[in-house]
Amino acid sequence: MILAGRQIDNPVVLAPLAGWTDSVFRRICKEFGVGLIYTEMASADALVRNRKRTLDICRFSPEERPIGVQLFGAEAETMAAAAKIVAELEPDFIDINFGCPAKKVVRRGGGSALMRDLQSIQSIGTAVVTATAIPVTAKLRAGWQETVVVEACQRLQDVGIAAVTIHPRTQKMGFKGQADWRLIADVKKAVSIPVIGNGDVNTAQDARRMLDETGCDLVMIGRAARGNPWIFKQVVEYLKDGVIIPPPSFEERLAMCIRHLEAQERFYGARVAVFNMRKHISYYLKGGEHVTQFREELFRQNDIFKVRASLLQFQQQHSTMLSVAESIESI
């Protein structure tokens, strides 16, 4: 489909996940067919204060396109200034975060705190759209406590927002309870701009059901992609041909984990990579046999060479055990 003049080849989107969706992980997900990518959210306040680390969050490689840079903040003027800074990187989209429920973001008046004030949402949308010629999208929750997302999206459409992503939980729900997909359908009926659905999409079948039940244009996946970039290929193939691709084997997950570690080292250097990867390793190994003790021992290591060696040894041990088991079964 075409989204604000940009070609989106596959109707599945990688959500912006703070601490997770860095350039390395985004490029891995791109290999598995994700159609649109968003960066981790970046603080508008930090950008206007010239914080290099925050600007680095917004950087991306050409192979990640189409890509949007997500910003959060509480003041229209600051958000507009940050959008101008980010526009120099020439992303395909700039996304405004009205949905993050994290306490540190909400305390600063950003993210889902803005769902309490539709006028502020409209003012921020106007300011960011006016600040740059790059298409602007927005990600919203259902509301703070009450559901206000339909009116919020109508106001954003009126000021020139090119698309909206809906996570149909209130701020108070956090990530608990069930996402109310009916709200995505309500927004889709109320606006003419593209609508991206988000929330509780854990399988290819979930993605198909969300598209069918809500009429949304694209499906966004976040938490289900942790340690599981294969989910994007599964969604793409299921939507295209109805083919259900089986989940990766534990051997495939281990191999990807090692590859991810090595890519992190090349991108960030050994010292940063070894700490960045701990959360990823936990998800790649999740559910495997004899993982708990191995993971505890692995995370005591601060030397990336030892971490890699341990993973390779664990991979070999697992392959050996699998071969023995298969031999026994064949007798």
Q: Cis link prior to 246 (omega < 30° from 0)?
A: no
Q: Which residues contact 213 (CB under 8 A, 6 or more apart)?
A: 181, 185
DSSP-derived pairing of the beta strands 195-198 and 218-221: parallel
Which runs of E-coded beta strand occur in 50-134?
67-72, 93-98
What DSSP line would sit under 244-311, residue for residue?
-PPPPPHHHHHHHHHHHHHHHHHHH-HHHHHHHHHHHHHHHHTT-TTHHHHHHHHTT---HHHHHHHH
Calpha distance 116→146 (Å, rounded): 9
Per the CB < 8 A criterion, the answer to whether 179 and 142 are in contact is: no
Q: What was the pLDDT predicted at 327? A: 46
Give the confidence band of 31 by pLDDT, cuts at 50, 70, 90: very high
* pLDDT (tens digit per residue) in 253-301: 999 999 999 999 999 999 999 999 999 999 999 988 888 889 888 999 9
Has residue 35 got a pLDDT over 80? Answer: yes
Residue from 100, 153, 216, 257 carrying the catalytic annotation: 100
Has residue 323 got a pLDDT over 70? Answer: no
Per the CB < 8 A criterion, the answer to whether 294 and 314 are in contact is: yes
* pLDDT (tens digit per residue) in 188-245: 999 999 999 999 999 999 999 999 999 999 999 999 999 999 999 999 999 999 999 9
Among the listed ranges 4-18, 124-138, 290-304, 316-330, which one has the minimum average pLDDT value? 316-330
Greater pLDDT, 123 or 173? 123
Q: Where are the alpha helices (DSSP H) in the chain?
A: 23-31, 44-48, 52-58, 76-87, 103-107, 118-131, 149-158, 181-190, 204-214, 230-241, 250-268, 270-285, 291-298, 304-330
Has residue 324 got a pLDDT over 50? Answer: no
Give the confidence band of 322 by pLDDT, cuts at 50, 70, 90: low
Has residue 304 got a pLDDT over 80? Answer: yes
| Arithmetic mean of pLDDT, 102-116 | 91
Candidates 80, 46, 30; CA nearest to 263 is: 30
What DSSP line would sit under 182-197, residue for residue?
HHHHHHHHH-SS-EEE
Q: Six-digit token pair at 294?
A: 């191995």
Calpha distance 224→28 (Å, rounded): 15
Has residue 101 got a pLDDT over 60? Answer: yes
Q: Six-digit token pair at 247?
A: 């989940």
Has residue 56 got a pLDDT over 80? Answer: yes
Q: Which residues contact 5 (CB under 8 A, 6 or more apart)?
A: 135
* Residue extents of the structural domains in the chain: 2-241, 250-330
Give the confidence band of 1 by pLDDT, cuts at 50, 70, 90: confident
Q: What was the pLDDT predicted at 13? A: 98
* pLDDT (tens digit per residue) in 76-96: 999 999 999 999 999 999 999
Q: What was the pLDDT predicted at 320? A: 67
Give the amino acid at 99. Answer: G
58 among known catalytic residues: no
Q: Is the C-alpha dihedral spanning 183, 184, 185, 190 positive or negative?
A: positive
Q: Quickly count: other Cβ atoms within 10 Å of residue 90's Cβ.
A: 11
| Arithmetic mean of pLDDT, 22-42 | 97
| Arithmetic mean of pLDDT, 13-33 | 96
We find that the CATH architecture of domain 250-330 is Orthogonal Bundle (1.10)
Among the listed ranges 41-45, 134-138, 190-194, 322-326, which one has the minimum average pLDDT value? 322-326
Q: What was the pLDDT predicted at 318? A: 76
We find that the CATH architecture of domain 2-241 is Alpha-Beta Barrel (3.20)
Q: Six-digit token pair at 218?
A: 């694209």
| Arithmetic mean of pLDDT, 20-41 | 97
Calpha distance 140→157 (Å, rounded): 13
Give the confidence band of 165 by pLDDT, cuts at 50, 70, 90: very high
Give the confidence band of 325 by pLDDT, cuts at 50, 70, 90: very low
- By the 10 Å C-beta count (0-12 exposed, 13-18 middle, 19+ buried), 152 is classed as buried
**What residues are paired with 46 via a beta bridge?**
none
| Arithmetic mean of pLDDT, 3-29 | 95
Tokens 């295209």, residue located:
240
pTM: 0.93
Calpha distance 17→24 (Å, rounded): 13
Has residue 321 got a pLDDT over 80? Answer: no
